[in-house]
Structure 1
């Protein structure tokens, strides 16, 4: 079967269709940078020849800022984030229902903004991005609704886990830590800061002991618990 495509100069002369619904209903309320990300991604969807270009480089944005934009459009129902490493996004019809519960998204709007800012601060220099899918966000909301963590404590926990494990830190790891914090009464932002300092000192002490045994890996949770008993 023959495979046909435009070369790059021809692709540059093509047009990208933008529905009036997007221009009227979505664009006026969205941050300018998010609109740029949406439109550039739409152009890549419509012109596969140009899809190999780096969206981040073209727009002068880091990976986390681009991911943040797509999280916003996912909440609006215009895209679905299918994978995050590498980031893979599927565009949807503007009339499709939002994938993220608007109840949760609306109730935690300020928290979501603070979380995105925290992710930018934590990952900006690394060039990596971290996206939380709708089901994961609901689990994070449960930390506050079920475990009783304050919003600041939840954000500090996520930042702490990213420092420990990197951008690929699993939600299960974060969820287990949130449960342990709640069981230990670590609920406020101030509680979280003290707990993080304690865990860092514990990790440092355990690492020193492992180095004496000529082991360079990080201490496991069981080893940390054993070191704490000592």
Structure 2
């Protein structure tokens, strides 16, 4: 028998072996991590390959850091999804190193089967979150604690703040001397509530705030105030611009009426502007009392306006003067009506064709999964859901066409498809429909006041 057996001599000293590190780990994580955290990871990986139990005190001495810093390092690596800790009854823990290659590029079927695979899938690295962690560390000059990492992830997932807005909130807060995640969260959430979804939206909002502060300054200077305005002052002055729809020249005209008064006040200016607003047809409880002479609007239910009334309520461009509040309420009415009409058509089709109920049920299920998984589901799963949603929409269009309905039959039909009955286009500019809507809003307001 001439068989030959090949054997590699086994080193007895662990330090004579080599430890392999995935290139994906180096490129995606090591380049942005704290240097001490990288050392903790590498030493732990080496010991994991040989089943060595770590004495944290000795390891701390070897690395020149404290045991608490070792815990902080594992907090970080767990927060970005490259390790998992299994805790023991005595509060010690076992570090499990997770393969990044298998999680990003592994077999889809194997990941979707079994509880362990599902757990790993739920721990997929969210690259948007990782970018935010990197941005925070760059802005603050320190590694992000796992508790702060969770707070950021919760803000993205729970409140729906876009990663782009949150990244700008980090930069904005840092530039103003604030690196506390709680402060950054408040900034990001407030911007989100204001309708900001991109960095451009935020910059437009900040520009608007800056312009508003300039207006506050002009008003205070005209009145003669030497103090800084407070939140109550801002709320009152905002009302003049946002609710009543006045421009700065009209406000300053009212401010001039305080000249010569011993104690000029914003409340006096507010009363002047409010009375002017009511007389112009603003929505106030005293509207009917101000129109006891029986004058009615030009709407279908009312008589014709007098020439004097037309002159008083028409601007130089030929469109009717209507307060900003009335115009916004009319736009809201149009949007709600369009949505209501769409729901009625949907219900009618579902009654006539039960298959439409199935379409609606599947679509609602996909939307629920997308919303529930914000900030937590993997990129691949989200892409899959979005693809299913797109395919469902196409199937629904084909079904409608086969049954004699237009493809867009179930879409919301806004009066203005450009701005979708908001009066403002996506680029922030005023829509061309505003002039026509203002005329309609004036008649709509008159009609409902006489009912």
The alignment's TM-score, normalised by the length of structure 2, stands at 0.28
Structure of higher CA gyration radius = 2
TM-score (norm 1): 0.48
